[in-house]
Amino acid sequence: MDYDHHHVAQFNPIAGARINGTREYPGIAASFDDQDGKPMVFQLDHRHWEKAMRALGFWDTLEERGASDLGLALVSEEKKSLILETLGNLFGAGKREIWINTLREADIVAAPINTLLEASNDPDVMQNGYITEVEYPDLGEKLKVHGSPWNFSETPASVGRAPLLGQHTAEILESLGYDQNQVDDLASRNII
């Protein structure tokens, strides 16, 4: 089946956001993509809504579009869609790092949603052992691999590379009773 632009999944701002609470005391936890498609997440309650939106420079646009009252999202799906669509467009017009720094400076919880590549290069991820480097002599370099999710004081986990294809074949055949001549014969006939 050929896919054209009509079959591509469109951004659904409601899927990446949760607005809860009451009409008078709403809160939002949401993720949005920046202009480069890099996602971020933030969370705030009604007391910080206007402060955060003003810090981001979004407030006037939200007011102009009738989307400045976060509590309306709890009583109207139309307003909820309008608020989230407006936020999606505004966040999509700038850089993730700028949005996160601006929100953090306003004392709002905000963070990047790292890609696997970004996470694998994060110093904290490396320091905590979530990602580790393993030497691959046949490649002449170290490659990043996932670390062990468990740490035991008496039986520490170790991470290493998997054996190469056929690396232990001869040993296994010998343990099954094949002698060296039989193993060599199988190898000469490209059986192993």
pLDDT in tens, 89-133: 999 999 999 999 999 999 999 999 998 889 888 898 888 888 888
**Which pLDDT score, from 0 to 100, does residue 9 have?**
33
For the cut 80, the answer to whether the pLDDT of residue 13 exceeds it is no
Q: Is the pLDDT of residue 84 over 70?
A: yes
Give, to the nearest 10 degrees, the angle between helix 96-105 and helix 46-56: 130
Q: Render the burial of 87-120: b for 16+ CB within 10 Å, e for the rest.
A: bbebbeeeebeebbebbeebebebebeeeeeeee
Q: Which two tokens stand for residue 165?
A: 């294809």
pTM: 0.66
Res 117: pLDDT: 87
DSSP helix, strand, coil percent of the chain (3-state; round to 5): 40, 20, 45
Domains of the chain: 17-113 (3.30.1540.10), 115-161 (no CATH), 165-192 (no CATH)
> What does DSSP assign to residue 161?
P
How do residues 41-81 score in pLDDT, each as one tens digit? 999 999 999 999 999 999 999 999 999 999 999 999 999 99
- Round to whole Å and give the CA distance between 37 and 31: 11
